Structure 1
Amino acid sequence: MGDFAALSLLSLALVLALQLLTYAISRRAGRLSVVDVTWGIGLALVALLAAAVGTGDATRRTLLAVIVVVWGSRLAWHIHRRSRGKGEDPRYARLAEGRSPASIFVRVFLTQGLAQWFVSLPIQVSASTGPPRGFSLALVVLGVVVSVVGMTIEAVADRQLAAFKADPANRGTIMDRGVWGWSRHPNYFGDSCVWVGVYLVACAVWPGVLTVLSPAAMVWFLVVATGARLLERHMADRPGYADYQRRTSFFVPLPPKKG
Structure 2
Amino acid sequence: MGVAAAVSKRQDRVAVVDVAWGSSFVAVAIVLALVWPDTHSWLLALLVAVWGGRLAWHIARRSHGAGEDPRYEKMLGGPGWHAGAAQVLVRVFLTQAAVAFIISAPLQAAAIVDVRWWPVVWLGVAVWAVGLFFEVVGDRQLSAYRARPRDARPKILDTGLWGWTRHPNYFGDACVWWGLWIAGAVSLGWVPGLVTVFAPVAMTFFIRNVTGAKLLEKTMSQREGWSEYADRVPLFFPRPPAGRGKRRA
Q: TM-score, length-normalised on structure 2?
A: 0.90
Does the 8 Å CA contact 1:43/1:72 hold for their aligned counterparts?
A: yes
Judged with a 3 Å threshold, the aligned counterparts in structure 2 of structure 1 residues 232 and 93 are, in CA distance, closer, same or farther, namely closer
Match of 1:242 among 223, 227, 235: 227
Give 1:103's aligned residue: 87
Which residues of 2 match residues 189-228 of structure 1 at below 5 A? Answer: 189-201=171-183, 202-206=185-189, 207-209=191-193, 210-228=195-213
| Aligned-residue CA RMSD (Å) | 1.5
Structure 2: which 5+ runs fail to align?
A: none
2:168 aligned partner, one-letter code: P
The 10-residue stretch of structure 1 (230-239 or 104-113) with the greater mean CA deviation from structure 2: 230-239
Which residue is 1:76 aligned to?
Answer: 56
Quickly say closer, same or farther: Cα 1:41–1:233, change in 2 above 3 A.
Answer: same
Amino acid at match of 1:25: V
Map 1:1-259 → 2, pairs under 5 A: 19-54=1-36, 58-94=38-74, 95=76, 97-132=81-116, 136-168=117-149, 169-170=151-152, 173-201=155-183, 202-206=185-189, 207-209=191-193, 210-258=195-243, 259=246
Distance 2:129 2:21 in 1: 19
Kindly indicate whether the alpha-carbon contact (under 8 Å) linking 1:192 and 1:219 is maintained by their aligned counterparts in 2: yes
Corresponding letter in the other structure for 2:146: K
CA distance in 2, matches of 1:93, 1:237: 17
Q: 1:161 to 1:170 in 2, by over 3 A?
A: farther
Distance 1:38 1:170, change over 3 A: farther
Q: CA deviation at 1:29?
A: 1.1
C-alpha contact 2:114 2:188 (8 A) present in aligned 1? yes
Give the conservation status (yes or no) of the 8 Å contact 2:71–2:216.
Answer: no
**Cα separation, 2, equivalents of 1:208 and 1:52:** 21
1-structure distance, mates of 2:166, 2:70 = 21
Task: Kindly provide the amino acid, as one letter, of the partner of residue 250 in structure 1.
Answer: L
Aligned-partner residue type, residue 141 of structure 1:
W
Identity across the alignment (%)? 46
C-alpha distance in 2 between matches for 1:214 and 1:131:
19
Name the SS for the 1:87 alignment partner: coil
Instruction: Answer yes or no: is the 8 Å Cα contact 1:192–1:218 preserved in 2.
Output: yes
Structure 1 contact 249–256 (Cα < 8 Å) conserved: no
Partner Cα separation in structure 1 for residue 133 and residue 152 of structure 2: 24
In 2, the alpha carbon distance for the partners of 1:99 and 1:241 equals: 32
Superposition deviation, residue 90 in structure 1: 2.5
